[in-house]
Structure 1
Amino acid sequence: MSDEIKIQLTTTPGNKPDSSNLSFGKYFTDHMFIMDYHIDKGWHDPRIVPYAPISLDPAAMVFHYGQAVFEGMKAYLTDSGKVLLFRPDKNMKRLNQSNDRLGIPEIDGDFVIQAIKTLIEIDKSWIPTEKGTSLYVRPFIIATEPCLGVRSSYTYQFIVILSPVGAYYSGGLEPVKINVESSYTRAVRGGIGYAKAAGNYAASIKAQEIAKKEGFSQVLWLDAIEKKYIEEVGSMNIFFKIGGTVITPEINGSILEGVTRDSVITLLKDWGVPVEERKISIEEIYEAYKQGQLEEVFGTGTAAVISPVGELHWNEHTMHVNEGKIGELSQKLYDTITGLQSGSLPDPRNWTVTF
């Protein structure tokens, strides 16, 4: 594959949305990056073109067998006009883990990061600067071969689109209400739960819709076998602060290995906060709550960064966490990670890529 990216600029630039009134994932910039794969050529023809609909054969295998993976990243604009990406190497590593699980050919992560930088430079004026906003980066791969045989596709497209976004939740950093899902199953060990695959999210939508109708922001999933052990929230990894110790479910093959999750664990260890990655049951959480030891609950993810949980509903039990207020540790984590992402705090671990 040639490292030369062909660039075709739009002749009809779009109107930028009001950055003080952004929702999540509703607006898209003027350009997108595309790269093709053929079994005989490998990845080839990298290009940046005007944002536009794509054309696929009705028999394209992504429609029939679900070979589709994606990533989520954010870009921030500093006061000096520099652009920051937060740990993009981790996203590329995870994308290739997802590719491997779904039988999709590996991509060159370093080349893709350079392509993303080039794309962002072209659409740099779309990066919002209001507090809490960013430019969301969505790389994804789809199987494009027109074939109804059940196997890996021989052709793919890798695409990157950009979206100026506000807070993931309309309430911002206000604690959310979460329902513990006891009926439906999202993933099981040996399946694709650890991959950032489109099918994982399709499996979560039904329960999510039910939860929203009942006034909850998200669903907390339990393990598929015993319906006992906590896994993750629909769009986030989950953490519990119990008696001074922070506990999060271990990476077990059915939950996503979150970049923000890893960053939080690293920061907590740096601060001397006890952290445990292990199996934890919903019963253990409820017992801690009854004993007054459930101090904080928060989710972590690229979209929301840190999302404090103010209420957990499990069967007939409702657990009110920290009087419905954001916890001190959750706030510190949010301030630190967003400070690193925006360049307002020192970055001793070199997590941010500046260009």
Structure 2
Amino acid sequence: MTGRPLPRCADEELGFGTVITDHMLKIEWNVERGWNHPMILPSGPVGLHPFAHVFHYAVECYEGMKAYVDNNGSVRLFRPEMNMQRFRVSAKRMSLPDFDGEQLLKCIETLVDIDKDWIPKQRGYSMYLRPVIFSTTPWLGLTQCAEAMILVLCCPVGPYFKSGFVPIKLSVDSKYIRAWPGGTGNVKSGGNYGPTVISQAAATANGASQSLFVYDKHEYVTEAGTMNIFFLIRNEQGVKQLITPSLKDGTILPGVTRQSVIELSQQWNECETVEKMIPFAEIKAAFERGDVLEIFGTGTAAVIQPINGIVYEGKEYKPVVPFDDSMLQVRLTNFLIGVQYGDIDHPWSHVVPPSTTWSKPM
């Protein structure tokens, strides 16, 4: 463990992913030996061979989780077993070695417990956890992974969007495609996100905060920047529906918050909950009828992000319901935050136990 703690800043000065905590988890793998013993080390640079596959072929994937402190001082994670399952699915798609998700979660719990003093106490703040697995295979030939590494990094964070829980605007991007059937849109790989920076810049120039990605001649809606997206609409028959893009064609990341919103919407039964392919023309027609009631994005970083406008071909379309506390998205947000911080007793909230003996092979 480090004897020289890293400098800290006030919670209000925290951005997203700009400050790292004192420690990180590191686990190495070799095709002949399997997984080595996990190590918790002082946070710092990791030496890699310059031929490592991660540098040349983007053979990597990652996860995003958050740790929260409740009113009793206990540390909580939100549905971490879903993150571990998705992490394994992503690793398989990227031809990276499998691992025991339960054992990795125990290692992450130990890391979080060691660095728990870094978790901000204010609501809206948390400690973001970034597990990442990548190929360190030290040759240029593109082959099956022979060496790999898992790192888990922690950083105290404030709101993902500087505006906080304030509605943002999206700009439809029909030029740059985030994902397509048969690709990697349904796994959390860095290669899905790096190429979207140019689209993000275009959205900003268009007066928006994020891009709304579409693909195919039908302009099927996929994701909003780094978020899953939901529309609360009235369909042509006047039935209220909460709709979100389906996972079936492999273009959508199966978000933990996304799944939680779907389950809550089904339980509350205030509207139909529908997962389907959504041509943007369908959303545009609903706007023109005055039947788009709410729009919001979901994700670990932002939780739920209100959206109050979509720019498409130079025209801005807005939902008809004024933003207030009675909205479905606000009530969903309050419930999810209540679970995350332990105010609401719910099986989705996972209490991190105090660290114990943990240095076992994966």
Partner of 1:248: 244
Distance 1:286 1:312 in 2: 10
For residue 126 of structure 1, the aligned residue among 85, 110, 118 is: 118
Q: Output one character per residue of 1:80-102: Cα deviation in whole Å (capped at 9) or x when no partner.
A: 11110000000011011111111
Percent identical across equivalent pairs?
Answer: 39
Q: Output one character per residue of 1:231-288: Cα deviation in whole Å (capped at 9) or x when no partner.
A: 1112110000002210111002111011100000000011013100011111111111
Measure how far apart 1:321 and its partner are.
Answer: 2.2
Partner of 2:69: 77
RMSD: 1.2
Partner of 2:183: 191
The answer to whether 1:257 aligns with 2:254 is yes
User: Given that residues 218 and 279 in structure 2 are in contact (C-alpha distance below 8 angstroms), is that contact kept between their aligned partners in structure 1?
Assistant: no
- My pick for the range that moved more, 312-321 or 324-333, is 324-333
For residue 130 of structure 2, the aligned residue among 114, 135, 138 is: 138
Distance 1:172 1:334 in 2: 13
TM-score (norm 2): 0.93
Q: Output one character per residue of 1:308-348: Cα deviation in whole Å (capped at 9) or x when no partner.
A: 1011011132102246735710100110101100001121x
Amino acid at match of 1:245: Q
Amino acid at match of 2:108: I
3-state SS of the aligned residue for 1:208?
A: helix
**Distance change (3 Å), C-alpha of 1:163 and 1:171:** same
3-state SS of the aligned residue for 1:240?
A: strand
Measure how far apart 1:202 and its partner are.
Answer: 1.5
Partner of 1:3: none
3-state SS of the aligned residue for 1:204?
A: helix
Amino acid at match of 2:127: L
Alignment of 1:89-238 (within 5 A): 89-223=81-215, 225-238=216-229
For residue 86 of structure 1, the aligned residue among 75, 78, 81 is: 78
Distance 1:339 1:12 in 2: 35
Partner of 1:5: none
Q: Output one character per residue of 1:181-239: Cα deviation in whole Å (capped at 9) or x when no partner.
A: 1111111111111110010001211111211222211111112x325111111211000
Distance 1:13 1:64 in 2: 34
Partner of 1:50: 42
User: Given that residues 97 and 195 in structure 1 are in contact (C-alpha distance below 8 angstroms), is that contact kept between their aligned partners in structure 2?
Assistant: yes
Distance 1:215 1:123 in 2: 39
Partner of 1:294: 292
TM-score (norm 1): 0.95
Which runs of 5 or more structure 2 residues have no equivalent in the other structure?
235-239, 353-362
Aligned residues: 344
Partner of 1:14: 6
User: Given that residues 177 and 309 in structure 1 are in contact (C-alpha distance below 8 angstroms), is that contact kept between their aligned partners in structure 2?
Assistant: yes
Distance 2:154 2:318 in 1: 37
User: Given that residues 297 and 309 in structure 1 are in contact (C-alpha distance below 8 angstroms), is that contact kept between their aligned partners in structure 2?
Assistant: yes
User: Given that residues 295 and 319 in structure 2 are in contact (C-alpha distance below 8 angstroms), is that contact kept between their aligned partners in structure 1?
Assistant: yes
**Distance change (3 Å), C-alpha of 1:69 and 1:324:** farther
